[in-house]
Amino acid sequence: MGWVSGIAVYFIIWWTTLFVVLPLGLQSQQEAGERALGTAESAPVNARMGFKVLLTTVLATVVFAIFYLVTQVWGIGPDDLPHFIPGT
């Protein structure tokens, strides 16, 4: 895997991890009992995006390290998986 492919894979992992991390610890204005004018009741009270971006980066780095270990160091790829469907 070249460095461009590595950056592309890391970006995809980071973006997917962001969608996993975003709802963690989220409290809506309706749940908190306070509502700012001009906002929806489902809008978050305190999104803490800085913390979530940092957590996403840490988790994506761990997932990418595992991916790199399995695919590049151990050499396991999709062709090594057993064929469950006959004729494939």
Question: Mean pLDDT of residues grouped by 10 in the chain (88 residues)?
Answer: 93 96 89 84 88 96 95 84 70
Give the domain ranges of the chain.
11-76
Give the whole-angstrom CA distance, residue 59 versus residue 63: 6
- What percent of the chain is modeled with pLDDT above 70? 94
Measure Cα distances from 5 to 8, 9, 45, 68, 83 in Å.
Answer: 5, 6, 38, 11, 27
Cβ count near 17 (within 10 Å): 20
**Which pLDDT does position 69 carry in this prediction?**
94
Residue 50 makes CB contacts below 8 A (sequence gap 6+) with none
